[in-house]
Amino acid sequence: MKSGLRVLAVDDVPAALADLCRLLRAAPEVAEVTSAGDPIDALKLIRQNRFDAVFLDIAMPGLDGLELAALLSKLAEPPVIVFVTAYDEHAVAAFGIGAVDYLLKPVRAERLADALARVTRIAPAEEAPPRPDAMAALPVESGGRTRYVRRDEVRFVEAHGDYVRLHAPSGVHLVRMPISRLEEYWESAGFARTHRGYLVALAAVRELRSDSVGGLLAHTDLGDVPVSRRHARELRERLLRAAQRGELSRPERG
């Protein structure tokens, strides 16, 4: 799970609740969104879980949003309250209870961002613990034996159906994994998509050169990797940033 706020959204109108949850899930500050269709369900969830913030409708049957917020304010560690309503006449009461914001429906993404900024100042998002790097090495089966190819050995990756070929100084190794899945894992570790069927380690690129028909190639010590027009600009930008950080190989001397 990404780091960020844990949020509970409460509204008795399903369509409005779905819209609010969609906006919250799209917000970079939010890690987890839980929904409740009435105040009683919301109370049960709050007793069982810790939430950083509750986005709360006001006009609901049984226990309205203002009453629920008053109950929550008595908790030892109350969540931050943001009201989301179609009516503006309750604003004074809402801020009197301690709400940090009061959003009118339909909620706009810009106003939601403002509210989340206020929430974050009061309830800073917790950092998720670092996850182990499970893809720093890949197992390769060959002749009844398993060996591990480290990611930092691989110069480039070539798609081969449901498999990929890892090109490394130790050889070409076949691994059962779609290239799109490997890209998800390795992009943040310095690999870039250059073509529908290729990934390249930025640190392994010695230069960009043209081929005989005017196409672009990323040259590595294990061979040239084709670069499509679609990916050329992004590759150049990532190589420039890597060069500025001193992460590229030294060019070959003639």
pLDDT in tens, 186-224: 988 999 999 999 999 999 999 999 988 888 999 999 999
| CATH classification of the domain holding 30 | 3.40.50.2300
Q: For the chain, how many structural domains are there in total?
A: 2
Are 168 and 61 part of one and the same domain? no
Q: Per the domain annotation, does 25 fall within a domain?
A: yes
User: Are 15 and 98 contained in the same domain?
Assistant: yes
pLDDT of residue 125: 56
Are 144 and 94 contained in the same domain? no
Question: Any bridge partners for residue 165, and if so which?
Answer: 158, 174
132 falls within a domain: no
* Domain stop point among 93, 122, 151: 122
Examine the domain organization and report whether 71 and 20 are in the same domain. yes
> Could you tell me which residue, 158 or 131, shows the higher pLDDT?
158
Instruction: Report the C-alpha gap between 75 and 54 in whole angstroms.
Output: 13
Mean pLDDT, the chain, as a whole number? 87
- Whether 199 and 238 map to the same domain: the answer is yes
Instruction: Please give the model's pTM, rounded to 2 decimal places.
Output: 0.49
Q: Are residues 107 and 170 in the same domain?
A: no
Calpha distance 101→116 (Å, rounded): 9
Share of the chain above pLDDT 70, in %: 91
Token couple for 56 = 């709360």
Rounded to whole angstroms, how far apart are CA atoms 59 and 84? Answer: 10
Whether residue 78 has a cis bond before it, omega within 30° of 0: no
Cβ neighbour number for residue 192 with a 10 Å cutoff: 24
Q: Indicate which CATH number applies to the domain containing 149.
A: 2.40.50.1020
Give the three-class secondary structure for 73: coil
pLDDT band at 37, cuts 50/70/90?
very high
Q: Look at residue 89 and tell me if it is in a domain.
A: yes
181 shares its domain with 74: no
131 within some domain: no
On whether both 198 and 152 belong to a single domain, the answer is: yes
The answer to whether residues 142 and 166 touch, using CB atoms and an 8 Å cutoff, is: no
CB 173 within 8 A of CB 186: no
Domain identity same for 98 and 152: no
Choose the final residue of a domain: 70, 91, 122. Answer: 122
Judge residue 219's burial from the number of C-beta atoms within 10 Å of its C-beta, 0-12 exposed, 13-18 middle, 19 or more buried.
middle
- What is the average per-residue pLDDT within 35-59? 92
Look up the domain containing 22 and give its range: 5-122
